[in-house]
């Protein structure tokens, strides 16, 4: 993966097993978000192969739109559609991609919003929701499509500190329900509590990875040690 002459990712090889929560940490510019976006081809890798749920998404002629339904993504800046209510945000892909009738889409949206604790906000527009509520609505939008895996790109970085907990709680519940998740985030406490594996990236490569307890307590590389010390202050 590269932008012009700048190689952003090199030699990345990761396996994520079902129901695993993989946490990716690293300094900014280390390629974490790019790696995540390669996983549903919002970014085009120059070479290599990405296999999701048994099918190669980098294969020639792969049906990207069909594949992306199975890969939920949550963004740092929420990216809710401002012209649609919370319910409308969740229903759009259900109606347009899956072709569900309106009533059924609404039921699914209600259930998805219920799951993130926003059942009463279905008719509220994004500008009527707090940041944490917007991010949970964005999670509901992805969940409604029943993805096999969820990608979280710094889901709490744009939130006020007191709103972070609600979003992390929803993510913890997803983990408990057996969702496969890849999370790019700086929430180290959440990583320690919920992650099965932590990957430390720097300069576009995976420096080291391991169970959170090991990686945080006993990092093998100097770069990892420096980074962990910095973020843990």
Judged by the rule CB under 8 A, the positions of this chain that interact with another protein are: 37, 40, 42, 65-69, 71-73, 75, 77, 79-83, 92-93, 96-97, 125-127, 138, 141-142, 145
Beta bridge partners of 197: 22
CB of 40 to another protein, least distance (A): 6
Q: Compare residues 65 and 230 and give the one whose CB is closer to another protein.
A: 65
Distances (CA, A) of 119 to 109, 111, 112, 168, 186: 9, 8, 8, 18, 29
Measured from the CB atom, the residue of 45 and 72 that comes closer to another protein is 72
CA distances from 177 to 26, 49, 87 (A): 27, 29, 23
Compare residues 16 and 42 and give the one whose CB is closer to another protein.
42
25 vs 149, beta carbon nearer another protein: 149
- Shortest gap between Cβ of 97 and another protein (angstroms)? 4
**Which residue number, 66 or 211, has a Cβ lying nearer to another protein?**
66
Rounded (10°) CA dihedral 191, 108, 17, 10 = -70
161 C-beta neighbours (distance < 10 Å), count: 7
CB 42 within 8 A of CB 216: no
Q: Are 180 and 148 in contact (CB under 8 A)?
A: yes
Nearest-approach distance from CB 93 to another protein, in angstroms: 4
CA angle 56, 60, 65 (to 5 degrees): 70
Instruction: State the nearest-atom distance from the C-beta of 120 to another protein, in Å.
Output: 20
Tokens of 186: 């700086």
Taking the complex as a whole, the smallest distance from the CB of residue 13 to another protein amounts, in Å, to 24
CA distances, 45 to each of 9, 12, 35, 65 (Å): 9, 11, 9, 17
> Which is nearer to another protein, 138 or 206 (by Cβ)?
138
User: Which residue, 57 or 228, is less far from another protein as judged by CB?
Assistant: 57
H or E element, residue 143: helix 131-143
| Residue 69 Cβ vs another protein, minimum distance, rounded to whole Å | 4
Measured from the CB of residue 197, what is the shortest distance to another protein in angstroms?
Answer: 23
């Amino acid at each position: 993966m590269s932008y012009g002459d700048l190689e952003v990712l090199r030699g990345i090889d990761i396996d994520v097993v079902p129901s695993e929560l993989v946490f990716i940490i690293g300094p900014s510019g280390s390629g974490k978000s790019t790696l995540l976006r390669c996983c549903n081809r919002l970014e085009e890798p120059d070479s290599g192969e990405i296999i999701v749920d048994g099918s190669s998404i980098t294969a020639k002629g792969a049906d990207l739109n069909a594949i992306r339904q199975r890969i939920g993504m949550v963004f740092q800046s929420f990216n809710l559609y401002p012209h649609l209510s919370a319910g409308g945000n969740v229903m759009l892909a259900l109606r347009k991609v899956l072709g569900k009738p309106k009533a059924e889409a609404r039921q699914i949206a209600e259930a998805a919003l219920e799951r993130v604790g926003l059942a009463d906000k279905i008719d509220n527009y994004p500008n009527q929701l707090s940041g944490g509520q917007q991010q949970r609505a964005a999670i509901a939008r992805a969940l409604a499509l029943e993805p096999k895996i969820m990608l979280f790109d710094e889901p709490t970085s744009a939130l006020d500190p007191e709103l972070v907990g609600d979003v992390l709680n929803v993510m913890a519940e997803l983990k408990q329900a057996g969702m496969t998740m890849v999370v790019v985030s700086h929430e180290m406490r959440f990583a320690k509590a919920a992650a099965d594996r932590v990957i430390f990236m720097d300069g576009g490569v995976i420096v080291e990875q391991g169970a959170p307890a090991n990686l945080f307590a006993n990092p093998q590389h100097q770069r990892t040690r420096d980074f962990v010390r910095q973020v843990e202050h």
